[in-house]
Amino acid sequence: MDIFGIPLQAFLGQLMLGLVNGSFYAMLSLGLAVIFGLLGIVNFAHGALYMIGAYVAWISLDRFGLNYWLALVVAPLLVGALGVVIERTLLKRLYKIDPIYGLLLTFGLALIGEGLFRYAFGVSGQSYPVPELLQGATNLGFMVLPNYRAWIVLASLLVCFGTWFVIERTRLGSYLRAGTENPALVQAFGINVPVMVMLTYGAGAGLAALAGVLAAPVIQVNPLMGSHLIIVVFAVVVIGGMGSIMGSILSGLALGIIEGLTKVFYPEASNIVVFVIMAIVLVIKPAGLFGKEA
């Protein structure tokens, strides 16, 4: 059986690979959506935080012998703490003025972060090995899927739906959402809104770092890895609807798959297909697929 001229098995294989990449898009765009939805900051430093997460994993293995599983915990915590520092010292001064300043500030931070890592580690990048437990591959019948890639999909889905659940279905989440709607009123109920906002940015940064650790064994750890990805991820967020958490998860997964299929049918277009879709979505539904009309 063929689908559009390619065998069904190959088609399913490509679908699976698209899902793997979609998992990354989902996890990164989720962090962006949380930060934008709750803080109103367009966080251009997200790609740099993702890169730093991958580097923390590499450094902790190379210099301190910490294995992958510890890095999965350590990197998000460290980068989350960095996020808290950034929020406390810089971002909090910008909440009351035009969002464009937040965008410029985070963009500048991203360039500085990249520059520092490039200076320290060069541009060829470093190799991070696949953890022993996840080496090897499983034959799915239609393709041989490396175990590590399967783990990425699983981990990403867990993190994404966990985050969605916390924000949309728990008391903490409702405080967060209320705090962004009307900070003064929520504060009046005795909830410390500035601390909540600080922790939210820290959590967003931690999510980016987690994605970085997950990516480290698959692609070369490289100071430029974040800037390659961040533009696509922004397009994903725009398509899903700025600030919509479920929107960013679903559109991340869907766009990964669409991009994967483009790599088969018209490879030359695979790096622009996401942007073409973004343009179409913006014309038809300016708030994004899952966004609320302002």
Partner 1 sequence: MKLKRIASACTLALATMFGVSAQAQISGNVIKIGIITDMSSVYADIDGPAGVEAIKMAIADAGGAVNGKKIELVYADHQNKPDIAAAKAREWFDTEGLDMLLGGTNSGTALAMAKVAAEKKKPFIAIGPGSSALTNEQCSPFTVHYAYDTVALAKGTGSAVVKAGGKSWFFLTADYAFGTALQNDTEAVVKANGGSVLGSVRAPLGTGDFSSFLLQAQASKAQILGLANAGGDTINSIKAANEFGITKTMKLAGLLVFINDIHSLGLKTTQGMYLTDSWYWNKDAEARAWSRRFFDKIKRMPSSIQAADYSATLQYLAAVKAIGSDDGVKVLAHMHQSKINDMYAKGGSIRPDGRMVHDMYLMQVKTPAQSTEPWDYYNVVQTIPGDQAFTTKAESKCKLWK
Interaction site with partner 1 (CB under 8 A)? 10, 13-14, 17-18, 20-21, 115, 118, 122-127, 130, 137, 143-144, 146, 148-149, 218-220, 222, 224-225, 228-229, 260, 263-264, 267-268, 270-272
Helices (H), 90-182: 99-121, 147-169, 171-181
Closest contact distance (angstroms) between CB of 206 and partner 1 is 22
- Calculate the dihedral angle through the C-alpha atoms of 140, 163, 252, 178, rounding to the nearest 10 degrees: 160
Which C-beta is closer to partner 1: that of 169 or that of 228? 228
The span from the CA of 220 to the CA of 202, in Å, is 25
Which C-beta is closer to partner 1: that of 44 or that of 117? 117
Which C-beta is closer to partner 1: that of 70 or that of 272? 272
Which C-beta is closer to partner 1: that of 123 or that of 283? 123
Place of tokens 């251009």: 44
Closest contact distance (angstroms) between CB of 289 and partner 1 is 24
Which C-beta is closer to partner 1: that of 263 or that of 285? 263
Which C-beta is closer to partner 1: that of 160 or that of 273? 273
Closest contact distance (angstroms) between CB of 7 and partner 1 is 8
Closest contact distance (angstroms) between CB of 155 and partner 1 is 17
C-alpha separations of 238 from 96, 209, 257 in Å: 23, 21, 17
What tokens appear for 98 in the block? 């035009």
Sign of CA dihedral 100, 101, 104, 107: negative
Residues ≥6 apart with Cβ < 8 Å to 278: 235, 238, 239
186 close to 172: Cβ distance less than 8 angstroms: no
Element (H, E) at 266: none
Q: Is residue 2 helix, strand or coil?
A: strand
Closest contact distance (angstroms) between CB of 18 and partner 1 is 8
Which C-beta is closer to partner 1: that of 150 or that of 166? 150
Closest contact distance (angstroms) between CB of 146 and partner 1 is 5
24 close to 152: Cβ distance less than 8 angstroms: yes
Place of tokens 């972060």: 113
Closest contact distance (angstroms) between CB of 29 and partner 1 is 15
